[in-house]
């Protein structure tokens, strides 16, 4: 299982609830502020490359959320990257958002280099940001919903 914790073993209603929690987390004020901060952190990286499956390595390599930790100066070496609640609490975001970002970072591409992962994640972050009129920067209004993914095992509706 991935660090996002997503699973195919879920009912339709739980999936609908989970995707709603993800959308609320990303589109809300806290989520949008975090995405803007993540975009700044990604752009500030001297080496435009992201790792998967961890927040930060001993060598200083990071995933997308790890870039925010570096920017903030947060020590995340003892944070379990597979515990979405702990990751969410560390960054001040909803567990649904933490799981979604981990999924996008780790599993959004196939056979990609760390540099390609950085490019894809930066594009994903920009696509999630809303403009002044409420639309996202990169998405057309014809496709406002997030793609369907299965929620993590043990998803509870109060994880927003």
Output the tens digit of pLDDT for each of the chain's 160 residues.
466 666 677 788 888 888 899 999 999 999 999 999 999 999 999 999 999 999 999 999 999 999 999 999 999 999 999 999 999 999 999 999 999 999 999 998 889 999 999 999 999 999 999 865 566 554 433 334 445 555 565 555 555 4
What is the Rg, in whole angstroms, of the alpha carbon atoms belonging to the chain? 15
Q: Determine the pLDDT at residue 133.
A: 53
Task: List the beta bridge partners of residue 152.
Answer: 6
Q: Tell me the CB-side half-sphere exposure of residue 68, using CA atoms within 13 A.
A: 19
Provide the residue ranges of all domains of the chain, joining segments of one domain with +: 12-128
Measure Cα distances from 131 to 27, 33, 138, 140, 149 in Å: 11, 12, 10, 12, 25
Q: What is the pTM of this model?
A: 0.79
Q: Which helix (H) or strand (E) holds 85?
A: helix 84-91
Q: Tokens 């280099």: give the residue.
A: 113
Beta carbons of 118 and 50 less than 8 angstroms apart: yes
Q: Which helix (H) or strand (E) holds 10?
A: none
């Amino acid at each position: 299982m991935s660090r996002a914790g997503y699973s195919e073993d879920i009912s339709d209603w739980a999936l609908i609830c989970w995707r709603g929690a993800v959308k609320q987390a990303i589109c809300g004020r806290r989520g949008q502020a975090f995405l803007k901060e993540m975009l700044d952190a990604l752009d500030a990286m001297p080496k435009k490359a992201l790792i998967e499956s961890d927040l930060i390595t001993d060598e200083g390599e990071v995933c997308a959320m790890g870039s925010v930790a570096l920017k903030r100066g947060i020590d995340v070496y003892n944070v379990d990257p597979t515990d979405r609640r702990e990751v969410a609490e560390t960054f001040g975001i909803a567990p649904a958002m933490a799981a979604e970002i981990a999924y996008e970072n780790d599993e959004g591409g196939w056979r990609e280099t760390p540099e390609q992962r950085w490019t894809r994640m930066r594009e994903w972050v920009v696509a999630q940001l809303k403009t002044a009129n409420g639309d996202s920067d990169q998405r057309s209004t014809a496709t406002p919903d997030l793609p369907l993914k299965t929620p993590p095992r043990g998803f509870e509706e109060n994880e927003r």
